[in-house]
Amino acid sequence: MRTFLHRLLGLARARGFDAAGGGRRWEGARTVDGLNAAILAGATTAARRAGWYARNNPWVAAAVDSLVGNVVGAGIKPQSTHPDRAVRERLQALWLRWTDHAAPDGLADFYGLQAMAVRAMVESGESFARLRVASEADAIPLHLELLDREQVPTDLHREIGGGARIRAGIEFDAGGRRVAYRVLSSRPGDPLGSLRMDPIRVPAADCLHLFKPLAAGQLRGITWLAPVLLRLHELDQFEDAALVKAKVAALFTGFITDPDGTAGGLSGTNTGGALTVGMEPGSLIPLPPGTDIRFSNPTEHDAYAPFVKNHLRAVAAGLGLPYELVSGDLEGVTYSSIRAGLIEFRRRVEQLQHNVVVHLFCRPVWERFVRLAVLTGDLPARDFDRNPDAYLACEWLPPKFDYVDPMKDVQAEIMAIGAGLKSRSQAISERGYDAEQVDAEIAADRERAEGLGLAFGQNTAPQQKEEADG
């Protein structure tokens, strides 16, 4: 029996994972014991460093702009799916009127707030927004106030009784549900902020917390630049050193050699230790006997470009971006390679749009908007209490992706519609438009064209008709 157990234990050890092994090869290797502990210990420092690089490093600035531009673009827009067309049109009209008044300071519309929230999520790892009822508003009385991540303290932990507790500024009930956030009136350290630094309790229904969850039970977000910040820092240092070396290599210095020390002075002006003499193309300058002039020939760093390119590829991979979008380098890019890279990138973008931005940011805003529209009487809905889901249901249309090859992509889409693999409504929605609105515009255009005796897109129709008649 003992021999069997020894054999069993030995077999288990032999089949262990190398990743969990020991020895010299694993000396100094780091592990993460808990994601929340790691985030709470270093998220603020990492977010501040990421913010600095996003404003001072051209490649990071381009990467952040590319992420925001692809995820949000001109805006992720709602399309009501209420069965009554009149209700859908009324909701759409109210929404379009409200979006311009979404921000309390008037600096952006709702879609601009989307972009700012996503930018903060990329740079800082998370962003917060507060839904507030506006006291005076020409449209639906709803304002969306963006908050800095440091306005929700990560070091605020407290037991509040009955199984409820506060963790990292977030209040949980006994069932583990988020019920409130503790929010400071201004960011700590803001010279123009409020002097009151006691956080106030904001119900979770009024607070939006936008971040990309990486694990179950995650409390707060971590900057998306976390995997590449150290590499960026070292790349900055390398570039500074390379720039200094290039400046030194560009210096053209002459050294006068006088082995016997009998040459005496050369003719010219001595300015700050440098002998200035006239040197023009084709000139012959006599030197005193025993003297010679040798010029410096400093070497240049011939591995600069491959080194930087390799690091930028790692930065792009860490951010989930194609290398070309980060560097702007399109050298050697072909149609097939750029298409393959963009397809994978667009899958990631769609995941972010629907699983993160729409779920955590857009849907709560739409629900609050619809409920306020019903309460204010701007949206007649007598059956809202009996069937609120019909009014709250909507599809969110992200911005369309531009084609790599428009002709090929449009032809492929037409073939898919003709083969019954997708509908026109689906194709139009994928482009970020409302199918009903597009059809109404097409009908109006045709009616106007017929009234004016205009014909478009029918250049080959008469010829085809004659051939058919013949």
Q: What is the pLDDT of residue 144?
A: 92
In 184-286 the beta strands, taken as DSSP E runs, fall at: 200-203, 207-211, 254-257, 269-271, 274-276
pTM value surpassing 0.75: yes
Which tens digit of pLDDT belongs to each residue from 385-414? 888 999 999 989 888 777 667 787 788 888
Backbone angles phi, psi at 331, to 5 degrees: -70, 130
For the chain, the straight-line distance linking the first and the last C-alpha, in angstroms and rounded, comes to: 97
Residue 430's alpha-carbon distances to 40, 212, 337, 395, 433, in angstroms, are 39, 23, 23, 11, 7
How many Cβ atoms from other residues are within 10 Å of residue 170's Cβ? 21
pLDDT greater at residue 304 or residue 74 = 74
Q: What is the pLDDT of residue 465?
A: 44
Q: What is the pLDDT of residue 117?
A: 95
Which residues are bridge partners to 181 per DSSP?
Answer: 170, 202
Q: Exposed, middle or buried: residue 210 (CB in 10 Å: 0-12, 13-18, 19+)? A: buried
pLDDT greater at residue 111 or residue 466 = 111
pLDDT greater at residue 56 or residue 16 = 56
DSSP state of 149: G
**Is residue 254 predicted with pLDDT exceeding 70?**
no
The stretch 159-176 carries a mean pLDDT of 91
**Is residue 92 predicted with pLDDT exceeding 60?**
yes
In single-letter form, the type of residue at position 395 comes to E
Find, among 228, 245, 233, the residue nearest to 304 by Cα.
Answer: 245
